[in-house]
Structure 1
C-alpha cells in the first residue's frame, strides 16, 4: 500500500490590527496594525503584536507612553464663541471626555466570513493647543511659562483635574502648548480659564489607546477586518464640550488583524510506502495459525501547528467516505484512516484528537490550545476482519492504493 501525504508549511495572514478611516466626506483618519506570527523560539506566545506606527508623541517621546501605542490624525478642534473667564459651565471652557470604556468590535475573516471580537478603548488625548490673544498679553505676565500657568484656574494644563493626569506639558511659545492628558476611566475633565480668550484651537490630535485581541491560536490564518465609527462633538463618543467643536464629526476606524500560522507534518524516510500487516505479522498465519482479525499499520510523524486545522483524505480508490485498496482483478476493500494528534491540539468539543476517523466527505477540525512544535502524531490504517476474509479469496495477489492526507490551516465554517 502506498500512502501519500501533505508536508510543508502552510502560512496565512492574520492580528495585526489597523485603525484606518473609511472614505468619507467628513471623517478623521487613523491607523492601527497588529499581527500574530508564531515562533519556535517562543512557543508559549499566543498574543498579537501591535505593529502600528506610533503617533508623534509616543514615537518621539516613548517614555511618556509607558509602552502603550498612540495614533495621530489630522484635523482640529476650534471654539465657536469666545472663552469667558471663570465661566461656571465646564462645557464652555476646555472640556474633554473620551470613550475610555471598552467597545466590542466584530472583525470578520476576509475569506471565510468567520467573526471574532476585538475590544478597544482610548485612554489619553493630546495635541497642540493654540490660543489668542497670547498668554503674556492675556495675563500681563512677561514670563511665558508663568503666563501659561496663570492663564488657567488651579494651575496650568500640567495640572488637569482628577481623574485625569498629565503625561506631557511643554510650552512652545506664548501662543502654543503641547499637552497630553491621560483619562484612565470614563469621566469628564475640564479646565476653567482665568482670563478671556478669543480663540482656543487644538491641532495635531493624538490618541493613546488600548486594544484587546482574541486568542490567535483559535483564529483562522488570514486577514480579519472591521469598520467602526466613533463620533466627535457635544454628547458624542469624543466630547469636547459645547464650545470646542471638531472640524470633522466622525472618526472612521478600520481594523485589520493579520494572523499567520505554522502548519507542518514531517514523515520519516520511507513513510510514503506502507505495508499493512496483522498484529504480530504474517508469520503466525503462514505457519498454520488462525486467519488474521485485521491488518493494520501505524505511521508516526512530527507535527507542528499554531492554529486551527482541518483534515481530510483524498483517494486513488474510493469506497463511501473511505479510501480503498484494490488488486489487479479490480476487487476493492475499504481502509479506515484515523489520526491522533499530539497534546495541545483538541477537537471542537474540547477532547483530544485520538484515532479520529478521516474521510473524503466531512473535514475533521482541530484547535490549538498552545503552539504545538515538532510533537509526535500518528496515522492509523486498518482493513477490518470481514474485508480481510474477502481478500483471502484472491490468493497470490497484491492490493494497493494511494491515500492522501490533507491538512489545511484555514478553518472553513
Structure 2
C-alpha cells in the first residue's frame, strides 16, 4: 500500500498486489505421472497490443535436444509425459497397432480457477503431435526399426537414430491441429522387444483473454490415460504394450501480472479550493461563487481491472467527505469528489468513467478498459458547491481542511 499525502488534506492511496494460487487439484493413482504446463501474461509498454500468454514451461521431451531450434522455429512445445514401459514389436508393414503406432485424443477444455476461487476461465488444450523413443532390448534388431514408408495419418516432423544402441525417436505431427481423434503410424521392421524410453506429446494452448483476468495465478488439471489398443486409452500406443505409468495428470498454471501505475505531478499533494477565475467577483462585487474547486491531474497506466474507493477524515452520512473550519465553530461543509479516467468504464454498468462521483457509501466500482492503456491523462475534481460556499464565506479569513483518501486497488 502506498499513500500519497496532500497537505490540504487530500490524500490518495495506491494499492497494488499479486496473489499466489492456492488451489490444487489432482487425480490419485498408484500408476500416475504428474507433469506441469505454465504460461504467463506480463504486458509490455513497448508492445501494448500484445494480448497473448507466453509459454513458460521448461523444455522437455523430444524438443529438449538437438531439435530445440527446429521446435522454436515451428512453435512446437513438447513435454515428456514420464511414461515408460515396453512394446513387443512384430513385422507388420500395414501401419497397424503392431507397428510404430500412436493414437491421439481430440481437443479438450480445461477450467482454470483463480486463487480465491471466485473466477473461472476456459483453457483449450490441443494435442497436435506425439513422439516416442524406443530402444531394441534384444540387441539384434535393424538400425532403423520403424522407418519404411511414409507415415499414415500425419507428418513425420522429427526423427533421429542412434545405431550404437539401436534406439530411434520419431515425432508425429497431426494434420488436423489436434481437433479430433488421430492415429499416426509407421511400418515395423523386426520382431523384437523394445523399451519405451520416452513418450512425449506436443501441444497448443488456447488461452483466455488476459485483459479480462485479474492479476494472480490460475490453476487447472486434466488427466490423460495411456495404454495399448483396446484399453480405451486417450493415447493408444498399439499392441504389445506394458507401461509403468498409465495415467498422466497434466497441471496447468496461468500467471497474470497486470501493469498498474499512477503518476502524480509535483505539487499534487496540495489542492487549494478556489472559484474558477479567481476571487475578483467576490472581493470586488460581493458575488458569491457557485463553487470552490480544484482539479488534481495525474496519469494512469493499466492493463487490467482495478477498484476505486474512498475514505474520509470527516465522513458525512450521505457518503461524501467534509472539510472543517480549523479556527472557529462552524458547520462542516460537504466536498463533492469526481473521477475522470478517459478510456475506462465501469465493468458492471458499462458507463464511461467521466465525472464519476466517489462516496464512502458506494459499492466500489471495478473499472476496466478494452486495451492496455499507457499514461492516460486523468483527473480528480474536488469541489464545494452551492449553499455550502455561502456558509464558508460567513467566516472570512478562516481555513477549512480535511483529509481524503482515494484508493486505487489493482487486485480487486
Pick the TM interval, shorter chain: 0.7 to 0.9
Partner of 1:193: 188
Deviation at 1:50, TM superposition (A): 1.2
> 2:95, 2:152 within 8 Å by CA — same for their partners in 1?
no
Deviation at 1:93, TM superposition (A): 4.3
Distance 1:84 1:58 in 2: 28
Distance 1:57 1:340 in 2: 53
Distance 1:379 1:297 in 2: 8
Deviates more, 1:331-340 or 1:183-192: 183-192
> 2:172, 2:184 within 8 Å by CA — same for their partners in 1?
no
> 1:108, 1:226 within 8 Å by CA — same for their partners in 2?
yes
Name the CA shift for 1:58/1:83 in 2 (closer, same or farther; >3 Å). closer
Partner of 2:268: 271
Distance 1:212 1:289 in 2: 68
Distance 1:297 1:24 in 2: 66
Deviation at 1:107, TM superposition (A): 1.4
Partner of 2:103: 97
Match among 61, 65, 83 for residue 75 of structure 1: 83
Match among 249, 253, 257 for residue 252 of structure 1: 249
> 2:136, 2:194 within 8 Å by CA — same for their partners in 1?
yes
Structure 1 residue 4 corresponds to structure 2 residue 11: yes
Name the CA shift for 1:39/1:87 in 2 (closer, same or farther; >3 Å). closer
Deviates more, 1:316-325 or 1:41-50: 41-50
Q: Secondary structure at the match of 2:400?
A: coil
Distance 1:86 1:229 in 2: 31
Partner of 1:168: 158
Structure 1, unpaired ranges of 5+: 138-143
Deviation at 1:268, TM superposition (A): 1.5
Deviation at 1:180, TM superposition (A): 1.0
Deviation at 1:403, TM superposition (A): 0.8
Partner of 2:112: 107
Structure 2, unpaired ranges of 5+: 1-7
Name the CA shift for 1:337/1:27 in 2 (closer, same or farther; >3 Å). same
Match among 221, 227, 231 for residue 227 of structure 1: 221
Deviation at 1:39, TM superposition (A): 2.4
Distance 1:386 1:78 in 2: 88
Distance 2:141 2:112 in 1: 50
Per the normalisation by structure 2, the TM-score is 0.84
Name the CA shift for 1:238/1:387 in 2 (closer, same or farther; >3 Å). farther
Deviation at 1:100, TM superposition (A): 4.2
Deviation at 1:85, TM superposition (A): 3.6
Partner deviation per Cα, 1:26-80 (whole Å, 9 max, x = no partner): 211212222222222222222221111111422221243213221113222434x
Partner of 2:345: 346
Structure 1 residue 31 corresponds to structure 2 residue 36: yes
Structure 1 residue 54 corresponds to structure 2 residue 44: no
Distance 2:207 2:213 in 1: 11
Q: Secondary structure at the match of 1:391?
A: helix
Distance 1:89 1:331 in 2: 91
> 2:95, 2:101 within 8 Å by CA — same for their partners in 1?
no
> 1:21, 1:31 within 8 Å by CA — same for their partners in 2?
no
Deviation at 1:194, TM superposition (A): 5.4
Name the CA shift for 1:112/1:297 in 2 (closer, same or farther; >3 Å). farther
Structure ranking higher in strand proportion: 2
Name the CA shift for 1:206/1:266 in 2 (closer, same or farther; >3 Å). same
Partner of 2:174: 183
Partner of 2:315: 318
Deviation at 1:255, TM superposition (A): 1.3
Name the CA shift for 1:225/1:330 in 2 (closer, same or farther; >3 Å). farther
Name the CA shift for 1:242/1:287 in 2 (closer, same or farther; >3 Å). farther
Distance 2:105 2:129 in 1: 10
Question: Aligned pairs, how many?
Answer: 387
Distance 2:95 2:264 in 1: 74
> 1:100, 1:123 within 8 Å by CA — same for their partners in 2?
no
> 1:20, 1:31 within 8 Å by CA — same for their partners in 2?
no
Partner deviation per Cα, 1:188-207 (whole Å, 9 max, x = no partner): 22345355x25244222222
